[in-house]
Amino acid sequence: MIKTLRDIPQIQTLLDQPLIKALQAEHGHAQIVDALRQITVTARRDLRDNLDANLPPFDSRQFSEIVEETIKTANAPSLKTVINATGILIHTNLGRACLAPEAVAAMQAVADAPSNLEFDLKTGKRGSRHAHVEALICALTGAQAAVVVNNCAAAVLLSLMATAAGRNVVASRGELIEIGGSFRLPDVIAQSGAALREVGATNKTRARDYAEAIDEDTAVLLKSHTSNFKIIGFTAAPNRRDLARLAQENNVILMEDLGSGVLIDLAPYGLVDEPVVTDILKAGVDLVMFSGDKLLGGPQAGIIAGRADIINDLKSHPLMRAVRIDKLSLAALEATLRLYRPPYDPTQKIPVLRMVSEPLEAVQKRAERLAQDFKHLGLEDVEVFQSTCQVGAGTLPGQGLASFAVSIALQGMSPDQLAAKLRQSETPVIGRIKNDRSIFDVRGLSDTDVLGISAAVSAILKQ
């Protein structure tokens, strides 16, 4: 038994054990050394903490099995699928939008074979990767021209750099947003080489405020979607038409960082206030940027749509190469955008929109099915209740979406303990905790997810 630190041998001594030597042939020297180091470091820490090191004799088969298990864990994929029962449909930490099968197929098709990514099949000459989606984006948004980059943050940076470096950007004090910690609009403006002219107040900014700030150094009037907070009470923001007129009179560009960017009106599903890209461009905004993997329901991407002369400048800007979209995302984006056009119905075809638009009765049925599964496992304290879920990822702040959830309480296991075990499940399950109960919101779940949750809980009960 291992009782003191002295009982833990040197790595070299362990490597000389016949059973460990045998493992080296299969896993290689380096992996065995790493595993032995990890095991002995843990054992030393346990002893120092006055815990039992809990290790079998070093020359035993059990010990070599522990070494193998350690290697297996180290080699398991780090990035893996989870079940999102948080009630936040587009969860940035959980990978945002899930793709439609058509988008996955398109991605796969260009993944393991050459493609015409930058090759014009008509002329046999070099082509542009933007060509594959530009016409589609224009058709869907009414824009003159469009270009796509790696993500929306890159879209904002590139747009500002190409249009306003060395000049001024006028923005409202009520819209100087921070998103996800590392994207702060004032910092992005600074990074682009432009100077920020803040106007108005936190709660109220008027067109007049923008007008007074415009001078010969002004290049851009910037609007941004306050996508992760809401100011309520006495507020004012100028309407886009007034700003568009102002921009035109002064020969400056009106730009809008939309964040989520929806292509269809979601008001029928109870989500008002999320402006549709088409309307924004119609109101006279020169350039809009939005994400591919938020409400659009596609891959990570940043879409820039608007005036052709500006888009042309972006296409030839030196930063473009550094922020360009990769072929897999491009393939998924093209396929996703096609699902917005007839004969398809995007609310049926695009997973994010299907979640948002699913009738509440169907959501309730799913919750009842999950509750039933829990009861079959022998759980006694199971409740189905109407909940409010969030679209998430900085879209529609403060606007809940009616949903249903199942809450459980286990005998002898706290919600925190259960959550920790669920995170370690083969397919980890991420829910939430409220009032000392474990909660699984079902609007964002598939039928397979429902089975996955009950399987995970079942496995935990058997441990």
Positions touching ligand PLP (CB under 6 A) are 151-153, 177, 179, 183, 224-225, 227, 257, 259-260, 291, 302, 394
User: Which is nearer to ligand PLP, 153 or 207 (by Cβ)?
Assistant: 153
User: Which is nearer to ligand PLP, 169 or 379 (by Cβ)?
Assistant: 169
CB of 290 to ligand PLP, least distance (A): 8
CB of 244 to ligand PLP, least distance (A): 19
**Cβ neighbours for 219, distance < 8 A, ≥ 6 positions apart:** 163, 164, 167, 168, 169, 194, 252, 253
**Strand order in 395-408's β-sheet?**
382-392, 395-408, 437-441, 432-434
User: Which is nearer to ligand PLP, 228 or 347 (by Cβ)?
Assistant: 228
CB of 338 to ligand PLP, least distance (A): 21
**Cβ neighbours for 164, distance < 8 A, ≥ 6 positions apart:** 189, 192, 193, 194, 219, 220, 253
3-state class (DSSP) for residue 70: helix
CB of 210 to ligand PLP, least distance (A): 19
User: Which is nearer to ligand PLP, 146 or 153 (by Cβ)?
Assistant: 153
CB of 302 to ligand PLP, least distance (A): 6
Residue 300 and residue 103 in contact, taking contact as beta carbons nearer than 8 Å: no
d(CA 286, CA 245): 11
CB of 36 to ligand PLP, least distance (A): 42
* Alpha-helix runs per DSSP H in 76-119: 101-111
Q: At what angle do helices 61-75 and 18-27 cross, to 10 degrees?
A: 20
The H or E element that residue 434 is part of is strand 432-434
Residue nearest to ligand PLP (CB): 259
User: Which is nearer to ligand PLP, 43 or 153 (by Cβ)?
Assistant: 153
**Cβ neighbours for 173, distance < 8 A, ≥ 6 positions apart:** 198, 199, 200, 201, 202, 205
User: Which is nearer to ligand PLP, 302 or 415 (by Cβ)?
Assistant: 302
